Structure 1
Amino acid sequence: MITISICMIVKNEEQVLERCLESLKGIAEELIIVDTGSTDSTKHIAAKYTDKIYDFTWIDDFAAARNFSFSKANMDYIYVADADEVIDEENRQRFLLLKQNLLPEVEIVQMKYANQLAFNTTYNFDVEYRPKLYKRIRKFYFTDPIHESVLLSPVVYDSEVTIMHMPISNHATRDFQIYRRVIEREGQLSAKLFEMYAKELFIAGEDKDFLEAAEYYEDFVENMDCSERERKISECILAKYYRIKRDVTGLMKYSLHNIGDGKGSAEVCYELGEFFYENGDYKEATIWYYNAAYETECELNIHYAGDYPLKRLAECYRFLGNKQQEEAFQELYDTWSIENLR
């Protein structure tokens, strides 16, 4: 049977940490908690479960903190946990069974990440696989009977263990600061962070956050050799930015670029709907809200192709005095919300 080190990085998690640690009881031989500057009772709560608590000066770098936590591990495998995660009893038993039967050649175990939209997270999915358990020391093997080479791809196993992601607050403000500091320091974001920044803006960003982010995305789309995906993402950001600024020229420029290829984004159509809605042209607004809900795909936030435009359609038809259409779209909005935010 394998042995496991749980490695966590925490800061001011007093509201959720004990819930997490209780759900992890009995799973691992070692619990390592790295605190990046808590000012609440986080470390006191952690001390009930382990004496392996380390301080790490926060440098706006989760990777550095995670690597530090890994350096303290001693067991066969490392399980990466966040304080706002919970494993219920059914999945605890699955985890223990996995622990007893895991083949030694497996280097990464993926687990199902249940990321309910009701918890206002950055991710647009209910369940997806994420790597959670890592072999601490990796052995290298040669492969192929001729022209042999070292096997570099890890052996990955998709388990049936499901982890519930249940945050009680959103960390967007902190994340936005980190994104901006990375841009200031390095000049650009990685492809992953480029998209994650945009997703967080559309899920949790306020107007001021779009105003602060727009310069980067506009410079990128105007001056870089970007992919179609990067272009679409940038157009979503810039359509909202110019709508917030009430700059019709900028809004039209990036909206027309976006929908001109016949594959417009729901976020852009929604922003066009918002522009006409704010100007009292409810009939025109319905066209764009309808396009957001039914004729386009979302790039960054599934709400923009779901409940957001449906709610606006009901409101527009109320203003237009069309009771039948108002009730129809209100029912569609209610149904979407029940099915997706349960």
Structure 2
Amino acid sequence: MGKISLCIIAKDEEKLISNAINSAKDFVDEIIVVDTGSKDRTVEIAKSFTDKVFKVNFENDFSKIRNFGISKANSEWVLFLDCDEELDSFSGKNLKNVIEDEYVAISFRVSGILDRVKRSAVNDIRLIKKDRDIFFSGKIGESALKSIINTFGREKINYTTLEIKHFGNDKNLVNLESKVSRNLKIYNSINNKERDGEYYFKLGNEYGRLNNFKKALEMYNISLLKCDCGDWIEELPRLIINKVKALHMLKCFDEEEMFISKWLKVYKEFKDLYFMKTLLYRDKGEFKKSYDSLLSYLEKRENIIYPSSAFDEFIDLKKFKDELFYLSQIIS
């Protein structure tokens, strides 16, 4: 069974770094912290867990920092967490059980937590085999996916239900505006030649975090024009659902309806699209269609191929269903 190094990037994270490390320390063999210029107690706290704390200058390139951390790892496998994340305890206990010779990377379900409730879940590669051909790319929104696919192929990725909890959108825990502002500066510094479909998708997500849905939609539309899938096909459903949500928030209901119908022909088992269709018809006052769409949603099983908005976690679906049924009977 392979040993695992935990690698964390930090800067001024004294309030969160202990939670992140504590969530994983019992399940890993080594802890590496790469600090990019903390002025608070982050380094001091990190050193209470490990003597492998490295200070580096941040050059607006997160991939460089990730790859530096990998270079300092002594284990066969490297696990990545951010300071605003925690490894689920059940997943931690099963961490080494998913390590098999036939895989070089393990994908987790990263769950967005807001007000202690799960609000989303997406796939993300967080455990990789230490190999010179596996490395991160992208100044921001960095990922090892391309290097893995190019060298080993998708079949070498094990998609699992192991969970990492992400608290980065909780304004009570993080300075969201500051982080988005930093991220936007990095995106704006990227060369025009590197601004592909993935770039505009992730840029749109930053505007979405600021509730600037008009700008987010603009970026998603550019992303779709530039997106030829290819190595990025895993992210396409996220782009689709995020555009649907932006359209809904902007009350562009006719365009939203056509867009959902188009992509349900491609992603017939994409559960979230049926729920957004439910909301769409409810807000248009077409309650029979809304009720029928909710029934379709409830019939679908969650599939880890797709992102999830975890509607079941924070909406009383039984009450919602009863209300729609009532409205569908009295309003035609």
Residue 283 (structure 1) aligned with residue 278 (structure 2): no
Identify which of structures 1 and 2 has the higher relative contact order when contacts are C-alpha pairs closer than 8 Å and 6+ apart.
Answer: 2
Secondary structure of residue in 2 paired with 1:208:
coil
Residue 134 (structure 1) aligned with residue 133 (structure 2): no
Q: Which residue of 2 aligns with 1:247?
A: 252
Gaps in structure 2 of 5+ consecutive residues:
135-150, 171-175
Task: Assess, with a 3 A threshold, how the Cα gap between structure 1 residues 320 and 37 changes in structure 2: closer, same or farther.
Answer: farther
Cα separation, 2, equivalents of 1:31 and 1:319: 56
Task: Assess, with a 3 A threshold, how the Cα gap between structure 1 residues 183 and 293 changes in structure 2: closer, same or farther.
Answer: farther
Task: Assess, with a 3 A threshold, how the Cα gap between structure 1 residues 108 and 309 changes in structure 2: closer, same or farther.
Answer: same
Once the two structures are TM-superposed, the CA of residue 227 in structure 1 deviates from its matched residue by 5.0
Secondary structure of residue in 1 paired with 2:130:
strand
Once the two structures are TM-superposed, the CA of residue 167 in structure 1 deviates from its matched residue by 4.0
| CA deviations over 1:58-98 (Å, ceiling 9, x no partner) | 44532121122234x27364633424344869967986x99
Cα separation, 2, equivalents of 1:241 and 1:93: 37
Once the two structures are TM-superposed, the CA of residue 316 in structure 1 deviates from its matched residue by 1.8
Alignment of 1:314-329 (within 5 A): 314-319=322-327
Secondary structure of residue in 2 paired with 1:271:
helix
CA contact (8 A) 1:266 1:304 kept: no
Once the two structures are TM-superposed, the CA of residue 238 in structure 1 deviates from its matched residue by 3.7
| CA deviations over 1:140-194 (Å, ceiling 9, x no partner) | xxxxxxxxxxxx659x9999xx976344444787479748954773556667777
Residue 300 (structure 1) aligned with residue 324 (structure 2): no
Once the two structures are TM-superposed, the CA of residue 45 in structure 1 deviates from its matched residue by 0.6
Once the two structures are TM-superposed, the CA of residue 46 in structure 1 deviates from its matched residue by 0.9
Residue number among 217, 222, 227 corresponding to 1:219 in the alignment: 222
Q: Which residue of 1 aligns with 2:67?
A: 67
| CA deviations over 1:178-222 (Å, ceiling 9, x no partner) | 489547735566677777788x78xx956825432211222343x
CA contact (8 A) 1:121 1:170 kept: no
Once the two structures are TM-superposed, the CA of residue 34 in structure 1 deviates from its matched residue by 1.0
Q: Return the letter of the residue paired with 1:255.
A: I
CA contact (8 A) 1:4 1:77 kept: yes
Q: Which residue of 1 aligns with 2:43?
A: 43
Q: Which residue of 2 aligns with 1:24?
A: 25
CA contact (8 A) 1:7 1:33 kept: yes
Cα separation, 2, equivalents of 1:115 and 1:180: 25
**Percent sequence identity over aligned pairs:** 17
Cα separation, 2, equivalents of 1:166 and 1:319: 37
Task: Assess, with a 3 A threshold, how the Cα gap between structure 1 residues 263 and 275 changes in structure 2: closer, same or farther.
Answer: same
Cα separation, 2, equivalents of 1:94 and 1:231: 27
Q: Which residue of 1 aligns with 2:14?
A: 14
Once the two structures are TM-superposed, the CA of residue 5 in structure 1 deviates from its matched residue by 5.7
Task: Assess, with a 3 A threshold, how the Cα gap between structure 1 residues 190 and 225 changes in structure 2: closer, same or farther.
Answer: closer
CA contact (8 A) 1:108 1:134 kept: no
Task: Assess, with a 3 A threshold, how the Cα gap between structure 1 residues 124 and 261 changes in structure 2: closer, same or farther.
Answer: closer
Cα separation, 2, equivalents of 1:153 and 1:65: 23
Cα separation, 2, equivalents of 1:316 and 1:219: 36
Computing the radius of gyration from Cα coordinates, the structure with the larger value is: 1
Cα separation, 2, equivalents of 1:60 and 1:180: 9
| CA deviations over 1:83-138 (Å, ceiling 9, x no partner) | 4344869967986x99xxx99xx79765685756776375347xx98534525799
Residue 274 (structure 1) aligned with residue 279 (structure 2): yes
TM superposition score normalised by structure 2: 0.59
Q: Which residue of 2 aligns with 1:123?
A: 121
CA contact (8 A) 2:32 2:69 kept: yes
Task: Assess, with a 3 A threshold, how the Cα gap between structure 1 residues 120 and 181 changes in structure 2: closer, same or farther.
Answer: farther
Q: Return the letter of the residue paired with 1:300.
A: P
Cα separation, 2, equivalents of 1:94 and 1:235: 31
Task: Assess, with a 3 A threshold, how the Cα gap between structure 1 residues 5 and 319 changes in structure 2: closer, same or farther.
Answer: closer
Q: Pairwise CA RMSD of aligned residues?
A: 5.5
Task: Assess, with a 3 A threshold, how the Cα gap between structure 1 residues 278 and 7 changes in structure 2: closer, same or farther.
Answer: closer
TM superposition score normalised by structure 1: 0.58
Secondary structure of residue in 1 paired with 2:121:
coil
Cα separation, 1, equivalents of 2:103 and 2:93: 18
Cα separation, 2, equivalents of 1:278 and 1:108: 46
| CA deviations over 1:280-314 (Å, ceiling 9, x no partner) | 44333213333333379874326369986945323
Task: Assess, with a 3 A threshold, how the Cα gap between structure 1 residues 195 and 79 changes in structure 2: closer, same or farther.
Answer: same
